[in-house]
Amino acid sequence: MSVERTVPLHFSTASRELATHTNLSAVRSDGPVLWVAGDETATVERLVATDDGWGEQETFHLGDLVRLPGEDHAEEADVEGLARDGLFLWAVGSHSLRRRRVKDHHEGPAALRRLATVTGQDNRQVLLRLPVQEVDGLPRPVRELEVDGQVHRAAAFGSRGKDLRDLLADDEHLAPFLPIPGKDNGLDVEGVAVRGDRVYLGLRGPVLRGWAVVLEVRPFVDPDDPARLRLAELDDGRRYRKHVLDLAGLGVRDLCPQGDDLLVLAGPTMDLDGPVRVHRWHGAMSVDAPTVVRGDALTAEVELPYGLGCDHAEGIGLLGPPEDGRLLVVYDSPAPERLAGGAVLADVVVLPPPGGASAAGTAGSGASSRGLTSSGGE
């Protein structure tokens, strides 16, 4: 384990009432701020660096920036990934279906009826590109940004016309999983990484006989509608490219670029506890063909803590210069020890140098089941 310390993330009263701080699903650092998202709102949160961590939260409603496909713009978008590249902040919804929960008071036929009910939400089916403008020394997403005479609009793929699920409807690997809820190994996007015109989408599910899937797409602005993104055709005529990763049966829970490599947060695709680890996909940002990623191209770097029914690592983001190799990890369903005074504790993890000794060992090594890791690590 390479947990260096914990840092508090302070949230507003309104966000705590919405339980955003206990449903964190994505994080990205951006100079003096952190961008974070919870999976049960249609917002992105900005936290500013403070003496003891991050706070001074400001909430940005996605429906105020770009058209969302749902009739209710406040309906959750299930944001599961954030990326920051160039002028833009990117956000992606899970694109997943969900099965109703069986609660403690449900018995017999009532419980079975709930398990038979599968629903979707339109606002989950989006990939968003939001211009970022510096205001009073801090970045903020805006509807429109003019740079060197060119106007950039907040834009979405999936808000109108075909969305990602439509494109995958005849895919030989993924189409059979589209009617299945995300927590049941159905389609579930849980990470995004961006470099130039390349956008990588990590899938928590499906996992195909132990192989995780990362999709690569090339969005561009519709020349007839600057608020709409479309996907460019690739060499084979498709508008996406599939890469499969040997994560020893785990799915992708987040993606984070570091140089030409891609850090992959891997965890269970089903509703299970651990194991959780960070892998390094070497040279991922320069591949130009569908790739089977294994062996020396994919190394397990760090084992992360997880608890029993709590502390599910959902988001990773580099802190400071990329070469420092310090990774901030945020957790869904944090252990009680992570919650104090309106803040939730995130972990700062030290990665081994690229090409150096891995702290995680092989991809098949186990993780110890635990709750909060104390400051200072092991």
As a three-state string, the secondary structure of the chain is: CCEEEEEEEECCHHHHHCCHHHEEEEEEEECCEEEEEECCCCEEEEEEECCCCEEEEEEEEHHHCCCCCCCCCCCCCCEEEEEEECCEEEEEECCCCEECCCCCCCCHHHHHHHHCCEECCHHHCCEEEEEEEEECCEEEECCEEEECCEEEECEEECCCCCCHHHHCCCCCCCHHHCCCCHHHCCCEEEEEEEECCEEEEEEEEEEECCEEEEEEECEEEECCEEEEEEECCCCCCCCCEEEEEECCCCEEEEEEEECCEEEEEEECCCCCCCCCEEEEECCHHHCCCCCEECHHHEEEEEECCECCCCCEEEEEEEECCHHHCEEEEEEECCCHHHEECCEEEEEEEECCCCCCCCCCCCCCCCCCECCCCCCCCC
The tokens describing 330, both together, are 């945020």
Residues forming beta bridges with residue 191, ordered by sequence position: 202
Task: Set out the domains of the chain in order of their start, with CATH numbers.
Answer: 3-350 (2.130.10)
For residue 76, what pLDDT is reported?
Answer: 85
The total of other beta-carbon atoms located within 10 Å of residue 221's CB is 15
Contacts of 87 (CB under 8 A, 6+ apart): 131, 132, 145, 147, 152
For residue 370, what pLDDT is reported?
Answer: 28
For residue 1, what pLDDT is reported?
Answer: 55
What's the rounded Cα separation, in Å, for the pair 348 and 60? 25
Contacts of 282 (CB under 8 A, 6+ apart): 260, 261, 296, 297, 298, 299, 354
Q: What angle do CA 345, 266, 204 make, to 5 degrees?
A: 105
For residue 211, what pLDDT is reported?
Answer: 98
Each of the 378 residues of the chain gets a pLDDT tens digit; together they read 578 999 999 999 888 888 889 999 999 999 999 999 998 889 999 999 999 899 999 999 999 999 999 877 778 889 999 999 999 999 999 999 999 888 888 888 888 998 899 999 999 999 999 999 999 999 999 999 999 999 999 999 999 889 999 999 999 999 999 999 999 999 999 999 999 999 999 999 999 999 999 999 999 999 999 999 999 999 989 999 999 999 999 999 999 999 999 999 999 998 888 899 999 999 999 999 989 999 999 999 999 999 998 999 999 999 988 888 999 999 999 999 999 888 999 999 999 987 665 655 444 333 333 233 323 332
For residue 36, what pLDDT is reported?
Answer: 97
What's the rounded Cα separation, in Å, for the pair 209 and 199? 25
Amino acid at 278: V
> 245 near 252, Cβ under 8 Å?
yes
For residue 205, what pLDDT is reported?
Answer: 96
What's the rounded Cα separation, in Å, for the pair 44 and 117? 29
What's the rounded Cα separation, in Å, for the pair 137 and 348? 25
pLDDT tens column, 86-130: 999 999 999 999 998 888 888 888 889 988 999 999 999 999 999
Q: Are strands 219-222 and 225-231 parallel, antiparallel or unpaired?
A: antiparallel
For residue 105, what pLDDT is reported?
Answer: 86
What's the rounded Cα separation, in Å, for the pair 176 and 196? 31
Residue 221: closest CA among 129, 136, 143: 129
Q: Are strands 292-293 and 241-246 parallel, antiparallel or unpaired?
A: parallel
What's the rounded Cα separation, in Å, for the pair 141 and 365? 41
Residue 316: closest CA among 336, 294, 346, 353: 346
Amino acid at 8: P
